[in-house]
Structure 1
Amino acid sequence: MVADTQGIILKASQTTGEIYDVDSSDLIGKSVYELEKEGLFTPIVTPMVIKEKKKITFVQTTNKGKKLLVTGIPVFNPEGELVRIVSYSHDVTELMNLKHYLQIMEEDMERVKSELDILRSKYIDSDGIIANSEEMKKVLDTALTVAEVDANVLLLGESGVGKSLIAKFIHNHSLRSKGPFIEVNCGAIPETLFEAEFFGYEAGSFTGANPKGKVGLAELADGGTLFLDEVGELSLIHQVKLLKMIQEKQFYRVGGTKVRQADFRLIAATNKNLEAAVREKSFREDLYFRLNVVPITIPPLRQRAEDILPLIEYFLDQFEKKYNRERRLDEAVIQRLVYHEWKGNVRELINLLERLVVTSSSKLITVDHLPDCINQAHNPPLFDENDNRPLPEILESVEKQVLAKAKRKYKTTVEMAKALGVSQPTIVRKLKTYGIK
């Protein structure tokens, strides 16, 4: 469409008429200003080009609701005076609608992402971390402090103490909490597949590989936290490659030539004595120092007795809901669970509680439902007739067992003394002698 500087249309193509749903010949001689007042289209390009004296592009709306991408171009005479405005239009209604729907989808996805973040946060916060004991309070205080920075953390402790939960706790309270949390069990991945799983591989790298290739676990952790559980199980060859990646923050996929980078926070965990492994040359010293920037030792369950009862209550409630079964523990059962040694730590406690909820046929769980290993541990024979030790040693052993049993049963040494028929100072002295706490 061509107009003069007064806005009078001089020429209009057939396509222009089709776009505006009018006969193009009806546009000739009319003013764009009048057509705008009549609502045929708005805004108009002529005054914009006259003002700017340069090419103008914008979105115009017709009276039929169409969205047009309009471009206006100034035409000058040899003296440099503006004499004509040439414009052409494209119907972009569908594109504008798509843009609108895309914006709505992006807003919805952002909302869903926020909801997922909240749910993830709730999950990590409510995943069974009980810290009534001073020992666990210190662990969580340290974890919260180190969460604020990106320093490497090494979680130490026996199997089942909850190292992965502490790792998630650190991630959840860090600046990377909205990023991924990628957990790698170094002891569960076959040694021959570790490199391909950890670093990923390119298409056709080896027989049986995914024809499209695969992104590795390290790459998936970009922007978040990479948690290496059972890191002490890595072979020396893989320790070298892990060390190189930690130092350089880059790596190659198997069969690849392009350098890959991943920005993640590293947390490692092990139930092994890595210092001893370093001395035995089964774990690299340089990797150990890289991982051991901030060590956090999680105490075994037997050393934080204050946490046992809250853990029992928490997981019993979880399994009641999961299996839709109402169950409660007899007082004698609670006593035995509280004073059990728990060599498998929290994991052993969780497994036992789930087993009791599933296998017990009555609402009340009694000592008869407990495994023999727990009942026998709390009812050991005071004397073995085949014991060939001297009498004084046997008597000391029996006395120690009696005192330990009384210590579990009674709250104070006064109550113990009354029950055993001796003085309170005697109880205190004997407890000290046998190291019973």
Structure 2
Amino acid sequence: MGGLSWISDEWIKFFEVSYDGIIIADGEGRIVYINPASERLEEVDKDYIVGRLARDLEEEGIYEVSVTVKTLRERKPVSLMQYKGGKQLVITGIPIFEDEEIKWVYINERDVTELNKIKRDSEEVKAIAEKYKRQLEELQVREEAKSEMIAGSKAMEKTAALLERIAPTDILVLIEGESGTGKDVHARWIHRHSLRKEKPFVKIDCGALSETLLESELFGYTKGAFTGASTTGKKGLVEAADGGTLFLDEIGEVPLGLQVKLLRLIQDKVFVPVGSVEEKTVDIRIIAATNRNLKEMIEEGTFREDLYYRLNVVPVKLPPLRERKEDLFYLIEYFLQKYNKKYGFHKKIQNKAISRLCDYNWPGNIRELSNVMERLLVVVPKAAIDAGDVETVIGCRGEEVIRTDDDEEKCYDEAFGEFEHYYLKRMIQVCKTNGELAQKTGLSASTLKRKLRKYGLRAKDRTKNEP
């Protein structure tokens, strides 16, 4: 290593044990040193390399492109990517100057094969993770659709499927249903699963304000627009919803005079603040809801026909709870879990109590059911809510769960059989395992098996995997 006499033996020892390949060439491009790592990476013998010119080695094909030659030519640090024996190498040449002339070229070689493999594996893992994340999000959407907003009846499953299709779009939605059927919940669900979910969701109850106040709340006003107005003016809810969703609850309560302005907003996304003559443009999605029959209002002359057809692009009709009592099992279980979690309880509800809840007509719909379930869990001091507790809260006294036109012509056994069939069918949907089904129904395993066979029902066969 006479050419490297200027380097101490200690430094040479460092070079010899380096994991990276190290090559040193002189100012003419003659290789004067190559360490063991470089021999391994280049798959060459140092006795064949040391003392030779880099350009000759390049011509012989030892190097596809010589970093030494390229560094001497460009007179600046150079990095190349080369493949040797299935290995991917990053090779960097650094010129060392003396009196403005290149005295030495220091070459460092690093095997990045494993690093790139790890990077590729990481990208594959990331892609798989993203795939499962999307699948989990889709499952979450479906699970949410079975909770407070949507339950398990066929009618509501169709509604869930409809909402999944329209949520990512900007199409206008009109939600119709009695008070308490969940119009607000549906509107918020649509927003949360839309492309505007990161933007505001702004709700206004159109029936809670007078015409003047409703107009100023919706469209805002300029300073001094009316007596008592703010001296600086006020931004309205329409403008506050810019980029997001505006939910017009109880749209049927909007006075005729203001319906014209709403029509312009829906058609052109343009409005004029109270007291101003300048139009403002917004980018909003509009969802409307009503508990009134808008077609009847059109005939009465209290609702504009053109506004109705602008609103009624995608109608979502929510049936009252009394017309979808099969959903009660899902909803009772949902609210039981919700309020147990909220208050840190572990309470249960007996089967007869569930039957009493199913007997009730629920004029207040899901909102009333939610309130009743919360009240039962908080007020009842026992660990298990019974039928008497339910009767105390809602006073239901046996309005039948199942009604048919010929009930009065049926004997007791036939009528009871219908209810038992219906009851077991719904409990199968609620319970996660056969053991839970037996526990909640209060039936022994053998009795349960016999009754399921009687009605041609099959329980969820999950107990095989239970410990």
Q: TM-score range by the shorter chain?
A: 0.5 to 0.7
- Equivalent residues of 1:243, 1:287 under 8 A apart: yes
Whole-angstrom distance in 1 between the partners of 2:230 and 2:178: 37
- The amino acid that maps onto 1:193 is L
Whole-angstrom distance in 1 between the partners of 2:168 and 2:252: 26
Tell me the alpha carbon deviations over residues 210-253 of structure 1, each in whole angstroms, 9 at most, x when there is no partner.
Answer: 33221111111111111111101111112122112222321111
Asked whether 1:411 is paired with 2:421, we answer yes
Whole-angstrom distance in 1 between the partners of 2:215 and 2:398: 47
- The amino acid that maps onto 1:146 is I
Whole-angstrom distance in 2 between the partners of 1:320 and 1:412: 27
Identity of matched residues, %? 45
Change (3 A) 1:192 1:403: farther
Asked whether 1:201 is paired with 2:221, we answer yes
Whole-angstrom distance in 2 between the partners of 1:130 and 1:237: 36
- The amino acid that maps onto 2:319 is P
Change (3 A) 1:342 1:376: closer
In the other structure, the counterpart of 2:371 is 351
The correspondence for 1:273, drawn from 271, 283, 293, is 293
Residue pairs, 1:266-305, within 5 angstroms: 266-305=286-325
The correspondence for 1:360, drawn from 380, 394, 398, is 380
The correspondence for 1:192, drawn from 187, 208, 212, is 212
In the other structure, the counterpart of 2:247 is 227
Deviation at 1:299, TM superposition (A): 2.0
In the other structure, the counterpart of 1:416 is none
Residue pairs, 1:12-411, within 5 angstroms: 125=144, 128-371=148-391, 374-378=394-398, 406=416, 409-411=419-421
- The amino acid that maps onto 2:288 is A
Tell me the alpha carbon deviations over residues 135-173 of structure 1, each in whole angstroms, 9 at most, x when there is no partner.
Answer: 111101111212232221111122211111111222122
Deviation at 1:356, TM superposition (A): 0.9
Change (3 A) 1:234 1:403: farther
Deviation at 1:403, TM superposition (A): 8.5
Whole-angstrom distance in 1 between the partners of 2:177 and 2:303: 17
- Equivalent residues of 1:167, 1:267 under 8 A apart: yes
Change (3 A) 1:403 1:267: farther
Deviation at 1:398, TM superposition (A): 5.9
Deviation at 1:335, TM superposition (A): 1.3
Tell me the alpha carbon deviations over residues 237-285 of structure 1, each in whole angstroms, 9 at most, x when there is no partner.
Answer: 1212211222232111112233211111111111111111111111110
Point out where structure 1 has 5 or more consecutive residues left out of the alignment.
Answer: 1-117, 381-395, 414-437
- Equivalent residues of 1:160, 1:348 under 8 A apart: yes
RMSD: 2.9
TM normalised by structure 2 equals 0.54
- Equivalent residues of 2:174, 2:289 under 8 A apart: yes
Deviation at 1:373, TM superposition (A): 8.0
Secondary structure of 2:421's aligned partner: coil
Whole-angstrom distance in 2 between the partners of 1:190 and 1:254: 15
- The amino acid that maps onto 2:384 is L
Change (3 A) 1:408 1:312: farther
Point out where structure 2 has 5 or more consecutive residues left out of the alignment.
Answer: 1-136, 401-405, 424-467
Tell me the alpha carbon deviations over residues 23-57 of structure 1, each in whole angstroms, 9 at most, x when there is no partner.
Answer: xxxxxxxxxxxxxxxxxxxxxxxxxxxxxxxxxxx
- Equivalent residues of 1:130, 1:310 under 8 A apart: no
Whole-angstrom distance in 2 between the partners of 1:222 and 1:145: 23
Whole-angstrom distance in 1 between the partners of 2:384 and 2:301: 53
Change (3 A) 1:377 1:281: farther
Whole-angstrom distance in 2 between the partners of 1:134 and 1:247: 34
Tell me the alpha carbon deviations over residues 56-99 of structure 1, each in whole angstroms, 9 at most, x when there is no partner.
Answer: xxxxxxxxxxxxxxxxxxxxxxxxxxxxxxxxxxxxxxxxxxxx
Tell me the alpha carbon deviations over residues 369-422 of structure 1, each in whole angstroms, 9 at most, x when there is no partner.
Answer: 224585444169xxxxxxxxxxxxxxx986579689736742179xxxxxxxxx
Tell me the alpha carbon deviations over residues 309-328 of structure 1, each in whole angstroms, 9 at most, x when there is no partner.
Answer: 12112212222232333322
Whole-angstrom distance in 2 between the partners of 1:215 and 1:407: 62
Whole-angstrom distance in 1 between the partners of 2:412 and 2:230: 64
Query: Which sits farther off after the overlay, 202-211 or 260-269?
Result: 202-211
Deviation at 1:189, TM superposition (A): 2.3
- The amino acid that maps onto 2:216 is A
Whole-angstrom distance in 2 between the partners of 1:336 and 1:377: 8
